[in-house]
Chains A and B, each alone.
Chain A
Amino acid sequence: MSAAPEPRLAHYVATEPFEPLATETLTPEQERFYRASQWRIMWWKFRRHKVALFSAWILLFFYASILASEVLSPYNLHSRDTRHIYAPPQAVHLFHDGRFVGPFVYGYSMELNMQTMRREFLPNEDKVQPLRFFCRGDGYEFMDLFEANVHLVCPAQGGTFFFFGTDRLGRDVFSRIIHGTRISLTVGLLGIAVSFLIGITLGGISGYYGGWIDNVIQRFIEMVRSFPELPLWMALSAALPVNWSPVLIYFGITIILGLLDWPGLARAVRSKLLALREEEFATAAVLMGASPGRVIARHLLPSFASHLIASLTLSVPSMILGETALSFLGLGLRPPVTSWGVLLNEAQNINVVALYPWLMLPVVPVFIVVLAFNFFGDGLRDAADPYK
């Protein structure tokens, strides 16, 4: 043996009395973590996902805007300025001649181009039109409740403020986009409600009962899934009676959008239920005489509600895009109901791309909202996943 033997440790006896629970006391942070509800943990996880958090703020902003569309938009939905048809967007400037003026726009000077036979609007550097804020403009009926005429921003007296330009009737595209938000964003939510209802019911029955019921429902789900969505949506919306009022059409479209979206949800519900129904708490509930409906809704579904919500968020964008596509084809919502899709319907031909590209601007909010919903849903799903 070359290595010297280790010196023996001194004999040690702890003088304090032995506390068997001492090692299990938690630090305050740990305690906070273990006592937190499931939703709170989700929130903590979600907070770390910066992009998702940012997307949540954007969505909040958009949804908040539908509460005050009339105030936020400089013009009304249907106000027309017949002197400015197809006017290009007016950029907001701050400085004129090197001098600070505050936010203002240059007025238009109109020329008739004899070659193309079109009216051309060019910014006129002499017409400085400072914007007014919290001002009186077009009168409107706020949410059909009371009349008002206050706007967040209006053009100068006798001036114009077409931030996104005007369309073929001289209507302000920017204001119409703000008004369209109301319809476009709620279409998705109502559609989700429909698909949620169908998905949970069918998935719940399928997962809870199993056996041949399960088999039939599963086959049915496969059939629905194998159907291309858009042509079926087209067929369904073509089937909506022409004499319906625009509001009824709106509800019809939301139901149509929700009608095809549920299979994924139903499948998720089913697979979770198949596992959960074997748990003791489910058996206990059954023994206590709870009806199947109660067991599913009251005991089983809450165990993965967070997951369901996350997957629902992810299917909103496809509905928004679906509505846009249908309205674009003229099969969806009809004027005077205005959504982003209805606005894009104006941009249907190639001339618009070449001559009036600003009519395609309603695609910007569609793009932002769809992206935000995707990131938000991703973050939510990660947060809801207990195994990560």
Chain B
Amino acid sequence: MLTYTIRRLLIMIPTLLVISFVTFSIIKLPPGDFLSNQIAELRSQGDKAALERAEFMRAQFGLDRPFIEQYAVWVGIWPAERGTAGERGFSGLLQGDWGWSFEHDLPVADVVGDRMLLSFILNFTVVLFTWAVAFPIGAYAATHQYSWGDYGLTLLGYVGLATPNFLFALVLMYFANVEFGLAIGGIMDPEYLDQPWSWAKFGSVLNHLWIPVIVIGTSGTAGMIRRLRANLLDELQKQYVVTARAKGMPPFRLLVKYPLRMSLNPFIADIGNLLPSVISGSAIVAVVLSLQTSGPMLLEALRSQDQYLAGSFLMFLALLTVIGMFVSDLLLAALDPRIRLTGGVAK
């Protein structure tokens, strides 16, 4: 188990490196950068002092350097010049420095604040929700194959799959407001926004969380139900089930004790499919519901070419996915010894 964990951890390093490179090159794809756009604007206004400041910033952050050097500095594998004294030091993602947000004129870490934590809470809850919903429904659909319940639930799953998330979010938000008088949008009441964490703040988050969780969860649940149903159906036809049934085991205990445990296996492996879609979903739903998670700020940063802010957000989302997959692989290996023995990476 230990060697497996280590091997799996080692694979993550090149993965994250490549992802960071791809991310950075995509962000740098449009011509120019935030500061050069700003400089062009200031030049047309003729604001000398601001112009000089922007040009100084541009040199200081090395935006005039070649692409590869900018990338290496951002990651923290190349020393960057800091300050006027010309001293050089490593300061990048590896050192825990997320960079500087030009638009907000603050370090990215300060701008981002607890958005990343909220993102994490949101995505984690969605995954739990998806599991909690898909598991009983999938099991029911498989044990009652071709019944009305099966068809109905399958259809419901498809409906969740086919509704665009953002529109569902809008409608649900509207009805939550009209029927229950819930506040519109946001992930907590506005008065808690920049407050330190407290129980009241936590409660407010919980109160707002359910709409995005339902909206994002529905799209992933359908696929999950279908896969669990298919897996369980395969298991239900196996000899050991027939044997247990012939020996007079109560149907419910039989189901829970053997086939359900077997079909749990792909369920956990499925997080690899689930997570990217959950995180994608949360990005757009967050924009619609103006949640204080990554979504709206990422969109804004991408539009204005605020490169370090956008890059850090994208990296964070990718990191979340990669770590999630790592955890799911570990769980899977813990559950199923066959995977450890063959040394295969769960897919």
Question: Which residues does A use to contact B, with CB under 8 Å?
Answer: 219-220, 222-223, 225-232, 234-236, 238-241, 267, 317, 321, 324-325, 328-329, 331, 344, 347-348, 350, 352-354, 360, 363, 366-367, 370-371, 374-375
A234 to B14, CA, bound (A): 24
Q: Mark B98-138, 1 if CB is under 8 A from A, else 0.
A: 00000000000000000000000000000000000000000
Query: Are B164 and A371 in contact, CB atoms less than 8 angstroms apart?
Result: no
Query: Are B283 and A231 in contact, CB atoms less than 8 angstroms apart?
Result: yes
Query: Are A325 and B284 in contact, CB atoms less than 8 angstroms apart?
Result: yes
- The reply on B93 being an interface residue by CB < 8 A is no
Query: Are B30 and A231 in contact, CB atoms less than 8 angstroms apart?
Result: no
Query: Are A350 and B283 in contact, CB atoms less than 8 angstroms apart?
Result: no
Known: A350-B173, A353-B171. A227 touches B30 (CB 8 A): no
Query: Are A328 and B171 in contact, CB atoms less than 8 angstroms apart?
Result: no
- Show 6 residue pairs from A and B whose CB-CB distance is below 8 angstroms, ordered by the A residue: A219-B14, A226-B321, A226-B322, A232-B26, A325-B284, A370-B162
* Partner of A239 from B26, B163, B314 at Cβ < 8 Å: B26
- The reply on B49 being an interface residue by CB < 8 A is no
Query: Are A231 and B163 in contact, CB atoms less than 8 angstroms apart?
Result: no
4 cross-chain pairs, A with B, having the tightest CB-CB distances, nearest first: A230-B280, A239-B29, A228-B279, A370-B162
- The reply on B308 being an interface residue by CB < 8 A is no
Within B1-32, the residues touching A (CB, 8 Å) are: 11, 14-15, 18-19, 22-23, 26-27, 29-31
Query: Are B161 and A328 in contact, CB atoms less than 8 angstroms apart?
Result: no
Which A residues lie within 8 Å of B345 (CB)?
222
Which A residues lie within 8 Å of B161 (CB)?
317, 370, 374
Query: Are A363 and B164 in contact, CB atoms less than 8 angstroms apart?
Result: yes
The secondary-structure label for the interface of chain B is: helix
| Nearest chain B CB to A342 CB, angstrom units | 13
Closest A residue to B166 by beta carbon equals A328
Query: Are B283 and A354 in contact, CB atoms less than 8 angstroms apart?
Result: no
A324 to B284, CA, bound (A): 11
A234 to B154, CA, bound (A): 31
Query: Are A236 and B26 in contact, CB atoms less than 8 angstroms apart?
Result: yes
Query: Are A229 and B276 in contact, CB atoms less than 8 angstroms apart?
Result: yes
- The reply on B65 being an interface residue by CB < 8 A is no
Which A residues lie within 8 Å of B279 (CB)?
228, 230-231
Closest A residue to B219 by beta carbon equals A321
Known: A231-B283, A238-B302, A374-B162. A360 touches B167 (CB 8 A): yes
Size of B's binding interface in residues, CB under 8 A = 53
Which A residues lie within 8 Å of B11 (CB)?
219
If A241-B30, A317-B162, A363-B164 are given as contacts, then 19 extra A-B residue pairs at C-beta distance below 8 Å, sorted by A number, are: A223-B19, A227-B321, A228-B277, A231-B283, A231-B298, A231-B317, A234-B298, A234-B302, A235-B23, A235-B310, A238-B30, A325-B164, A325-B284, A329-B284, A331-B302, A347-B170, A350-B174, A371-B158, A374-B161
Which A residues lie within 8 Å of B30 (CB)?
238-241
Query: Are B280 and A228 in contact, CB atoms less than 8 angstroms apart?
Result: yes
Known: A325-B284, A370-B162, A374-B158. A228 touches B167 (CB 8 A): no
Query: Are A367 and B19 in contact, CB atoms less than 8 angstroms apart?
Result: no
Closest A residue to B14 by beta carbon equals A219
- The reply on B260 being an interface residue by CB < 8 A is no
Question: Which residues does B use to contact A, with CB under 8 Å?
Answer: 11, 14-15, 18-19, 22-23, 26-27, 29-31, 158-159, 161-167, 170-171, 173-174, 177, 184-185, 272, 275-277, 279-281, 283-284, 287-288, 298-299, 302-303, 310, 313-314, 317-318, 321-322, 325, 345, 347
Query: Are B321 and A228 in contact, CB atoms less than 8 angstroms apart?
Result: yes
Query: Are B27 and A235 in contact, CB atoms less than 8 angstroms apart?
Result: yes
* Partner of B276 from A226, A324, A354, A371 at Cβ < 8 Å: A226
| Nearest chain A CB to B288 CB, angstrom units | 8
* Partner of A226 from B15, B31, B174 at Cβ < 8 Å: B15
A178 to B280, CA, bound (A): 29
Query: Are B29 and A363 in contact, CB atoms less than 8 angstroms apart?
Result: no
A225 to B274, CA, bound (A): 11
Query: Are A226 and B165 in contact, CB atoms less than 8 angstroms apart?
Result: no
* Partner of A230 from B272, B283, B288, B322 at Cβ < 8 Å: B283
Which B residues lie within 8 Å of A222 (CB)?
15, 345
A229 to B276, CA, bound (A): 7
* Partner of A344 from B164, B275, B298 at Cβ < 8 Å: B164
Known: A219-B14, A229-B277, A360-B167. A241 touches B31 (CB 8 A): yes
Which A residues lie within 8 Å of B310 (CB)?
235
A230 to B281, CA, bound (A): 7
A325 to B277, CA, bound (A): 13
A200 to B174, CA, bound (A): 45
Most central of B29, B163, B276, B345 by chain A CB within 10 Å? B276
Query: Are B167 and A230 in contact, CB atoms less than 8 angstroms apart?
Result: no
| Nearest chain A CB to B256 CB, angstrom units | 29
A370 to B345, CA, bound (A): 32
A321 to B165, CA, bound (A): 9
A220 to B303, CA, bound (A): 28
Closest A residue to B163 by beta carbon equals A367
* Partner of A347 from B18, B167, B275, B303 at Cβ < 8 Å: B167
A228 to B325, CA, bound (A): 12
A133 to B170, CA, bound (A): 37
A329 to B286, CA, bound (A): 11
Closest A residue to B162 by beta carbon equals A370
Which A residues lie within 8 Å of B163 (CB)?
363, 367
Which B residues lie within 8 Å of A240 (CB)?
30
